[in-house]
Amino acid sequence: MRKPLSLYIHIPFCKHKCIYCDFLSFDNKTNTTQIQYINALTSEIRLYKPYADRFIVKTIYIGGGTPTILDEAMIGKILDTVRHIFKVDRFPEITIEANPGTIKYTDLISFREYGINRLSIGLQSADSELLRRLGRIHNYEEFLRGYENARRAGFENISVDVMSSLPGQDLHTLVDTITKVGEMSPEHISVYSLQVEEGTPLYDRDDLINMIPDENLDREMYIMTKKVLKSFGYNRYEFSNYSKPGYESRHNTVYWTGGQYIGFGIGAASFFKGQRFKNIENIESYIEICEDIRDELTRDTDRNRLYDSTSAVLRTNVETMFIDKRMEEFMFLGLRMTAGVSREEFKLRFNREMFDVYGEVINKYTDQGFMSVDEKRVKLTDRGIDVSNYILADFILDK
């Protein structure tokens, strides 16, 4: 029986890099580099041929960067390669991220023909001045056109990304954005609070950092986001994610529940065959290594040997996930979901009772009102979610 598998495909190109973005992406690469990268990426996918027959791909997520900056035929080439190497489920969830400033109706039609059935659009705010301040390349009107075009193209599963605690943002501005998005009724909405990361242009902009809402206002924004989206019929199923019934992100749920996934492209993370690892981040080195893969594949080289030898130079931060580490991740990733973690699933995976391992921690936070327990599941309460970083740290076994 084939095991479920998810695939992440990283497209590191964008038209203009936002000042808060710390993702591995570039806004200065030529079309030639893009073509070389896509060729390299498809070679990496082909590298997994020896193991592909053991799995069935349930979800595919094409992220970035801005994947929609590519010629749509490149996206088609990637998905064709995936389907040639892997068995893909009859009803997969296939998502592509899109910036409203790069969405073309003709491309959306092509994406649907390629089998892409979920679109994730990065709005961030309905306030065009806030968007300009962040270095976004679109305005609200362009988002509306892109959203309408996606519906016309046949997308019945759309996710919209919104950000809170932006420089100069007040509660009214955020609620206005959340309300406008809720009225459009996308199937899924993600709302993330801005994080200022070292190494980004924003990190050195004291003028903007001083405009970021304080902790109290950030808290008000968090509360109002939940309230407004609930009024539109959205269920909060994870700390930052809301959906209509049945439209939870299947791909992200794989991450939160400890499922296997492979990341393709520079910097892409994987959890595969009991190991967690990342690809190298240097795009020139990645292209060179994958060109060697392509050459070896044309020579009918032994695929298992090629996989092993290439993995040694393509991967970094390789970590074998022993049972203690897997139990930790099962708890502190699973507890991000409002449904919590299954006691039965814990026992099936680890052959241990959850309370034999974590009973002391769970009982402590249950007594304090931060967690709730029944015969089937353990989860954080609303109060617990508010202090989740503090609580989840206690689920690390070897501190």
Q: What pLDDT is stored for residue 8 in this prediction?
A: 99
Please, what is the Cα angle at 84 between 80 and 86, to 5 degrees? 110
Task: Give yes or no for residue 288 having a pLDDT over 80.
Answer: yes
Give the residue carrying structure tokens 């130079």: 313
Q: What percent of the chain has pLDDT over 90?
A: 82
Beta strands 371-373 and 315-320, pairing class: unpaired
Task: Give yes or no for residue 168 having a pLDDT over 80.
Answer: yes
Task: Give yes or no for residue 27 having a pLDDT over 80.
Answer: yes
Q: What pLDDT is stored for residue 303 in this prediction?
A: 79
Structural domains of the chain in order of their starting residue, each with its CATH number: 3-256 (3.20.20.70), 323-395 (1.10.10.920)
Residue 337, CB half-sphere, CA atoms under 13 Å: how many?
Answer: 22
Work out whether the CA dihedral 315, 63, 61, 124 comes out positive or negative: positive
Q: What is the pLDDT of residues 328-365, one digit of tens each?
A: 999 999 999 999 999 999 999 999 999 999 999 999 99
Tokens of 117: 């059935």
Q: Using an 8 Å Cβ cutoff, are 268 and 257 in contact? A: no
Q: What is the pLDDT of residues 171-190, one digit of tens each?
A: 999 999 999 999 999 999 99
Q: What percent of the chain has pLDDT over 70?
A: 99
Look up the pTM and report it.
0.95
Q: What pLDDT is stored for residue 134 in this prediction?
A: 86
Q: What is the pLDDT of residues 99-132, one digit of tens each?
A: 988 889 999 999 999 999 999 999 999 998 999 8
Q: What is the rounded distance in angstroms from the CA atom of residue 6 to the CA atom of residue 50?
A: 17
Q: What pLDDT is stored for residue 107 in this prediction?
A: 96
Q: What is the pLDDT of residues 141-150, one digit of tens each?
A: 999 999 999 9
Q: What is the pLDDT of residues 76-107, one digit of tens each?
A: 999 999 999 999 999 999 999 999 888 899 99
3-state secondary structure of 188: strand
Q: What pLDDT is stored for residue 300 in this prediction?
A: 67
Q: What pLDDT is stored for residue 385 in this prediction?
A: 93
Q: Which residue has the higher pLDDT, 308 or 343?
A: 343
Q: What is the H or E stretch that residue 369 is in?
A: none
> E-assigned strands of the chain?
3-11, 55-64, 87-98, 118-124, 158-164, 188-193, 235-238, 241-243, 261-264, 269-272, 275-279, 315-320, 341-342, 371-373, 377-380
Q: What is the DSSP letter of 234?
A: -
Q: Using an 8 Å Cβ cutoff, are 86 and 52 in contact? A: yes
Q: What pLDDT is stored for residue 398 in this prediction?
A: 73
CA torsion, ordered 233, 239, 240, 242, to nearest 10 deg: -20
Q: What is the rounded distance in angstroms from the CA atom of residue 326 to the CA atom of residue 322?
A: 6
Please, what is the Cα angle at 127 between 121 and 130, to 5 degrees? 95
Q: Using an 8 Å Cβ cutoff, are 18 and 275 in contact? A: no
What mean pLDDT do residues 136-140 have? 87
What mean pLDDT do residues 204-222 have? 93
pLDDT class of 16 with cuts at 50, 70, 90: confident
pLDDT class of 399 with cuts at 50, 70, 90: low
Q: What is the rounded distance in angstroms from the CA atom of residue 225 to the CA atom of residue 301?
A: 55
Beta strands 55-64 and 3-11, pairing class: parallel
Give the residue carrying structure tokens 């092509």: 110
